[in-house]
Structure 1
Amino acid sequence: MLERIGVSVVSIESDKAIIAFRDDIDLTSFRDAVSSYEDGPQSGINPTTGRAYASTQWDILEFIEAPQMRLWGRDDRIGSRLQDEIGDETQAIDDDRLYRVDVELWHRGTVETTRTGLREVRQLVEHDARDGERVGDEFIGRLLCLARVSVRGAKLSQLLDLDSVAEIDLPAQPHFDRRHARRVTERDLPTPPIPQPGGPSVCVVDSGTTSNHPLLANNIGHAEAVLTNSTTAADEHGHGTMVGGLAVFGDIRACYASGEFSSPITLFSARVLNDENRFDDETLIIHQMRRAIDVFYASPYNCRVFNISLGVNDAWLQHNNRQSLWAESLDILAREYNVCLVVSAGNHSLGVAFTADDAEEVVASYPEYLFQEECGLCEPATAAIPITVGAIATEDTIAIPVGRREDDLNRPIAEAFQPSPTTRFGPGIGGAIKPEFVGPGGNTTFQGFSSLRQVDDDPGLAVMSFSNEPTQELFAFDIGTSYAAPVVARSASLLWSHAQEQFGEEPQANLIRALLASAASVPNPTRQLLHDEHGEDGIRRACGYGLIDDDFAFDSGDRRVTLIHQGTMPLDTFAVYEVPAPLEFRHAEGHKHVTIAMAFDPPVRRRRASYLGVHMNYALIRGKSVDEIVEAYRQLSTEEREQYRESGTKPQGAFQGAFRCDLKPGPQSLQSSTLQKSHWTFSRENTDYGDSWYVVVQSQRVWAPESFVEQKFAITVTLQADEPHLYNLIQNRIRVRQQQRTRTRV
């Protein structure tokens, strides 16, 4: 309809539409027309005709805010990398320097009309062309128009003024040399040291491992084939070795760059796939999973973290409304053994393409296609208690090209720290927060020449790990959530060992999950990409609680303090925990942050309407005494039970308004999740709510059997503020309370 008034929408970005006019533009008359129709068509009767006023072609614009309209200018056309070179107002352009840039032109609906803009660019570049100035690769599709252009600074400035140009940016400069990595042998790198016995460990349940890999051999504790018709634990397909290398070393690309491979982690390998890289037809998956955990949980291995980068290719919830048998079995095993199971979210094929049309569609529709139902979590990633891991792209620069021209277009689909183009999104069963975390899973890129275009991976964008054929080459490259999961498993293993050493006893797996959540955050590029269109819910579907920062998980700091508790509580009860909130924290400069994370491992049953047999939630209360809180929640518990029996609805929790801190996401968004995390930020405290706040934790029996009377759980509370003495203030406060309790006992 907009074409009837001489305009066409050529791009919609977040919350605004970019409108291109067919002819030269004088916005004055257009704004006047819009302004006169801002309140809608004229009402009433036309005295001349005796009828209602007729509509006009401008009525479609009746709600546009004309004063906010402006032309797309040269500043809008400067890409982020180019801006770093020439400044946001082009003040640093060097007129004589040769710039090689990627030019994106507005696509005006058809190839022919779009080609006009490309001709305009070519004419500008070729007019009085200086040495090196030329148009290299070009692409015009149904949705995109791109060109690789080399121009001097003076002509670059002219390109930035062309109406047909949407954006100009410098291509990312390749730095990773795949050819060099292929030539590296074990003689070029020092032998990794053998880890100390009794230290952190990870068991990779996969296709086996390559025990003679020179960079991995010293870290392998034991490898075994588990209930499979294969007689060897060796990795014949490569997947398990890549996963195992990442579980041990984490960022192998960084290790390669530094020339140092050293890790305290011992790797165990349970091969569960047969020679065809499939599960055996005659053995139940739950038996293979149980056997793998049995073997490596017991002495002498004593492993507590298991990585399962396996899954079915389809989105489970697209065709099923119940939990899968495989996922249910992992939930049962995780609770029964008190272990951390880490599973990959799965991959799909919408992020790769091998024809020009399909490749263009990937570029144009990223990240929207990731929200399609067919990109939902695969089986068993919907499991409630295991940790599910999605993938982000950590690289957006291709490897140094081999056999390609420097003028060829090459455009990574995702920017660094945006969702990987092939990752799967949540939610889980009942809207559970899944995946809980993300890790490096690689990226894809739009590449090729002429009409031969595709979207595929590249060694510079892929995850780097170990090859299962080390005599041929040491390293392998691939993309997928399979390689994000072991990085999280590695963090869980290190944290488990650290917690056991600190507490002098074995921690709950719940505590490890809660601590990992407390140390995770959503990368800013992902938030900026998804927030305007999909909000916080869309961000959680993409990456849950985010990317884990190991430094935050392991220790508190001067300005960041994490309080922890693990234990059990009877069902249909509540517990109150004090949170010190010293004056210095509440009155610190800037924003103050409170983060709460809680994990529990309820009984599950896929044949129940509610998959979880127990629900838990928490609230942060301030400005009330313990007695007031206990009394309010006692009354609430009685009312809740009565009302729930009568109507099936639940009343709101005790205390509202300022007394109940506004944690986000709230309990409704978290009720189906066994790992819950929420956050509250405040800048000032206008009312003195006291220096003791309280976390109230509730448990509720949904259908758990009568024999199940207590629920294990762990909770962490993290306080963060620009107060250099925050750690000491809270530590001293806790010591005083402990001394008071000791005197009371005496």
Structure 2
Amino acid sequence: MPYEHLRFTRETPLTDRYRRPYRRPAYKPDNPRQFGEQMGRHFTEARQRTPREEIGGYDNRLLLKIHVREGERIPDLEALPGVELVSQEDKHVLLAFMDEEAVREVEARLTSLARDGVATGAQLFYALEAFDHWMEEDRTGPALAQLDWPETEALLLDVELWPEERYDRREAMANSFATLLEDRGVELLDRVAQPSLLMFRVRCDREFAETTLLRHRDVRTVDLPPRTGLGIHLLLTDINILPDPPATDPDAPRVAVLDSGVTTNHPLLRAAVGDAQGFVEPNRRPDDDEPWHGTLVSGLALYGDVAGQLRSGQFTPELTLLSGKVFEDNGNDQTRFVENAVEEAVRSFHEEYGCRVFNLSYGDRNKVYDGRHVRGLAYTLDRLSRELGVLFVVPTGNLSIQDLPDNPREAFPDYLFDEQSRLIDPATALNVLTVGGIASMTATRDAQRRPDAIEDLPVAVEGQPFPLTRCGPSVNQAIKPDVVEEAGNLAVMRVGGRQRHHGLGVLSLSGGFATGHPFAEDIGTSYSAPKVAHRATRLLRPLPDASHNLMRSLIGVHSRWPEGSERLFETLAERDKKQRLSQLYGYGLTDDTALFESLDNVVTLYAEDQIENDLCQFYELPVPDEFWSGSRRERSISIALAYSPEVRTTRLDYRMTRLWFTLVTARDLDEVEQAFKRNRDEGMGERQTNRWMANDARKKGTLQVSRWNFRGRIADGQRVFVVVTRQDAPWSTVQEAPESYALIAVLDDQESSQAQLYAKIRARLQDRARARARART
């Protein structure tokens, strides 16, 4: 019998997190005078070596590339007057602006160090290795470096400038650069101006790009604009045999699809479309065009399992569909940044309709993640998610058929871990749900027609990764994708070895219904994401006030790696196997059985709260004695935490705030509180027995999930606690503000038919609430 999920609350104590004292960098030169002389010479040479052909910036400050000694902490360069840290480009490279005062200060300190062997803040300089400049090769973006200049007279380029936190400086830099473009007759098509992202889309010739853009002080990178594109294969189905769908409930939750538009008069969509708008210049049409990508995605976002509804003979929409056309899918130049179109659409639908779930089945194949910064559209989504409290669902992106090795069946799945197979923008975003793909079918259309013949050999079996999916992790090894869904499959023809996928794709709605093709089939993670967006939006029926963090954590905690997936890497050590699986599956495929409502023996507890910096908060799980008693059987406790931190593109840390949870067993709350206050890790470490995902692996992301399996009872007198901890980065600007989060606990005792777990837990929570009320009076 289904029941509503139960809310639980934390215990009263708030404990200061133990803060380890700062360790100065270990390196100290044997001869400080010699070191000072050498660094002073490097600094002078770097100043004088400013490339004569470099184009000056909007002000007169010097931009230097500073190399940090390997193994050393990033020094606090901004402790020097007149120094502004612009960006940390990798673990050992910093970019900083220096005004004349800063230049004189650095020279004076290095002179003092060379003369006397001591200087104010000498330890800061010990962490440094060299000074240099941001050169043309540094400014060349990854897609431009890989694909080279297009063979066209007029180039379409995306130019990113150095981010400036101060609004006045950001405006001054942008206006100065725009004036340069105008003076040189370069066409400015669009711009993005966000606190940590400043970009221009321009149309220019190659000479201007090479002699000006790649040499301009204020330019961070120059790259090619996004590439998208899919092949659609239509299915023939008679839509006239299906009854018209009923009208959607006016109060139904809303899901917005940000894509290539939608065919609003499709017979299976028109009753559920609440609004369709266009955000692509110049005509801002809302309509989808062949190959109907937006309509395919919209069908899955609205219905979830289109094939299942078709088999049932009745389409019943439970949601209201909103459509925002934010890109073209026809290969034509798009002069507007997709970041701007997406932001306008999100703000419009959020303000007008209160929409909180947005599907964006988009991936920029020119922006394969290089393991360093998160920027571009991913940063935009992370920022909007935190600001507006909305959930974005995006795909990992797909490899192209041409990217596959000669024999993909033999190379599967190893080729999915190649550098070229990594996530593409915006899949690296941390505050969103990133969805990877898995295979669900293995028989092509020809194989179904001739079941006795071996015509096609599938690359993947059911439950294995989709052969074109992309793998994580994201920034700082954060687990991505978060979850997976059906994306189709590929097969290799027996004769010739050519790949095909007829009959192996995901079924959805086609905009070509007027020509007798109301349904279409295609493969790709573009069709995995909307099924998860559908699921997330449905959570707003039983939980209408659920935050985006709560939706993320519920989907994560109810996900599992598909059965048989671990056999892919059975020869690897357990830790390596889990790492590989998390790169492809994230936390797994979501099980709907107890996602929306709890059951008698599968109970979901949830909390939404806030935590201040350097604090620990404590939750005791209301585990009834019956959960532990009885025969030896499989039962589990699953925990999920989700939050949406402030982020910066200029930092490799990216997150200003870090939260994590720790599951421990102890006699009482006081034991846990005292242990965490003293930071006695050896006495109160996380329970490791039969733990699924280790803390070090999961805490790098903003959606964190783990599970503990139990076959017997824990030690007598022990209770189960979850501790939530917050630690901000030293450079965080939000240390004084509380951080919101959602915490989920799922108790699962499905092997006990007489568990009545829900009733027991609810009674415990009621007793606890009464006791707290008495204590307050």
Q: Do the structures match in fold with TM over 0.5?
A: yes
Classify 1:326/1:652 alpha carbon distance in 2 versus 1 (closer, same or farther; 3 Å): farther
Q: How does 1:40-55 map to 2 (within 5 A)?
A: none
Matched, 1:307 2:359: yes
Q: Determine the C-alpha separation between the residues in 2 that align with 1:535 and 1:475.
A: 39
Q: Is the 8 A contact 1:351 1:444 kept in 2?
A: no
Classify 1:197/1:695 alpha carbon distance in 2 versus 1 (closer, same or farther; 3 Å): same
Deviates further, 488-497 or 735-744 = 735-744
Classify 1:182/1:621 alpha carbon distance in 2 versus 1 (closer, same or farther; 3 Å): closer
**Counterpart position of 1:173:** none
**Counterpart position of 1:63:** none
Q: Determine the C-alpha separation between the residues in 2 that align with 1:431 and 1:698.
A: 20
Q: Which one-letter code corresponds to 1:445 in the other structure?
A: A
Matched, 1:298 2:351: yes
Classify 1:257/1:403 alpha carbon distance in 2 versus 1 (closer, same or farther; 3 Å): closer
Post-superposition offset of 1:745? 3.2
Post-superposition offset of 1:528? 2.2
SS of aligned partner of 1:632: helix
Deviation per residue, 1:450-473 (Å, 9 max, x gap): xx3301211x21111111111121
Deviates further, 546-555 or 515-524 = 546-555
**Counterpart position of 2:643:** 600
SS of aligned partner of 1:622: strand
Post-superposition offset of 1:315? 6.0
Deviation per residue, 1:271-319 (Å, 9 max, x gap): 01147456732x33332221111111123x221100010011246224x
Matched, 1:635 2:681: no
Matched, 1:264 2:318: yes
Classify 1:410/1:631 alpha carbon distance in 2 versus 1 (closer, same or farther; 3 Å): same
**Counterpart position of 1:241:** 295
Q: Is the 8 A contact 2:447 2:453 kept in 1?
A: no
**Counterpart position of 1:218:** 271
Q: Which one-letter code corresponds to 2:611 in the other structure?
A: M
CA RMSD, 1 decimal: 2.4
SS of aligned partner of 1:328: helix
Matched, 1:420 2:447: no
Deviates further, 539-548 or 396-405 = 396-405
Deviation per residue, 1:719-744 (Å, 9 max, x gap): 11234221111111111111222233
Q: How does 1:241-640 map to 2 (within 5 A)?
A: 241-274=295-328, 276-277=330-331, 280-281=334-335, 283-299=336-352, 301-314=353-366, 316-318=368-370, 321-349=372-400, 361-400=407-446, 407=453, 409-447=455-493, 449=495, 452-458=496-502, 460-472=503-515, 473-500=517-544, 506-533=545-572, 535-589=577-631, 590-636=633-679
Q: Is the 8 A contact 2:621 2:721 kept in 1?
A: yes
Classify 1:402/1:581 alpha carbon distance in 2 versus 1 (closer, same or farther; 3 Å): closer
Q: Determine the C-alpha separation between the residues in 1 that align with 2:235 and 2:343.
A: 39
Q: Is the 8 A contact 2:550 2:608 kept in 1?
A: yes
Q: Which one-letter code corresponds to 2:640 in the other structure?
A: A
Deviation per residue, 1:47-78 (Å, 9 max, x gap): xxxxxxxxxxxxxxxxxxxxxxxxxxxxxxxx
Deviation per residue, 1:581-603 (Å, 9 max, x gap): 22211224312211100001111
Post-superposition offset of 1:568? 0.7
SS of aligned partner of 2:621: strand
Q: Determine the C-alpha separation between the residues in 2 that align with 1:296 and 1:736.
A: 43
Q: Determine the C-alpha separation between the residues in 2 that align with 1:693 and 1:686.
A: 9
**Counterpart position of 1:694:** 721
Q: Is the 8 A contact 2:275 2:322 kept in 1?
A: yes
Percent identity between the aligned chains?
32
TM-score scaled by length of structure 2: 0.66
Deviation per residue, 1:157-199 (Å, 9 max, x gap): xxxxxxxxxxxxxxxxxxxxx99x9553332111111110121
Q: Is the 8 A contact 2:663 2:686 kept in 1?
A: no
**Counterpart position of 2:191:** none
Post-superposition offset of 1:213? 0.8
Q: Is the 8 A contact 1:228 1:273 kept in 2?
A: no
Q: Is the 8 A contact 1:393 1:418 kept in 2?
A: yes
- The correspondence for 2:774, drawn from 719, 743, 746, is 743
Post-superposition offset of 1:371? 1.5
Classify 1:549/1:453 alpha carbon distance in 2 versus 1 (closer, same or farther; 3 Å): same
Q: Is the 8 A contact 1:390 1:423 kept in 2?
A: yes
**Counterpart position of 1:718:** 746
SS of aligned partner of 2:247: coil
- The correspondence for 1:188, drawn from 218, 241, 244, is 241
Deviation per residue, 1:664-717 (Å, 9 max, x gap): 322211222000001111222362133x42111101111321465211100011
Matched, 1:656 2:685: yes
Q: Which one-letter code corresponds to 1:342 in the other structure?
A: V
Deviation per residue, 1:511-535 (Å, 9 max, x gap): 1111111111110132222343451
Post-superposition offset of 1:261? 1.0
Q: Which one-letter code corresponds to 1:487 in the other structure?
A: K
Q: Is the 8 A contact 2:466 2:489 kept in 1?
A: yes
Q: Determine the C-alpha separation between the residues in 2 that align with 1:484 and 1:544.
A: 14
Q: Determine the C-alpha separation between the residues in 2 that align with 1:228 and 1:530.
A: 48
Q: Which runs of 5+ in 2 are unaligned?
A: 1-231
Q: Determine the C-alpha separation between the residues in 1 that align with 2:447 and 2:714.
A: 59
TM-score scaled by length of structure 1: 0.69
Q: Determine the C-alpha separation between the residues in 2 that align with 1:216 and 1:548.
A: 26
SS of aligned partner of 1:471: helix
Q: Determine the C-alpha separation between the residues in 2 that align with 1:364 and 1:227.
A: 43
Q: Determine the C-alpha separation between the residues in 1 that align with 2:513 and 2:662.
A: 53
Name the larger-Rg structure.
1
SS of aligned partner of 1:453: coil
Q: How many pairs are equivalent?
A: 536
Q: Which runs of 5+ in 1 are unaligned?
A: 1-177, 501-505, 637-650
Q: Is the 8 A contact 1:273 1:279 kept in 2?
A: no
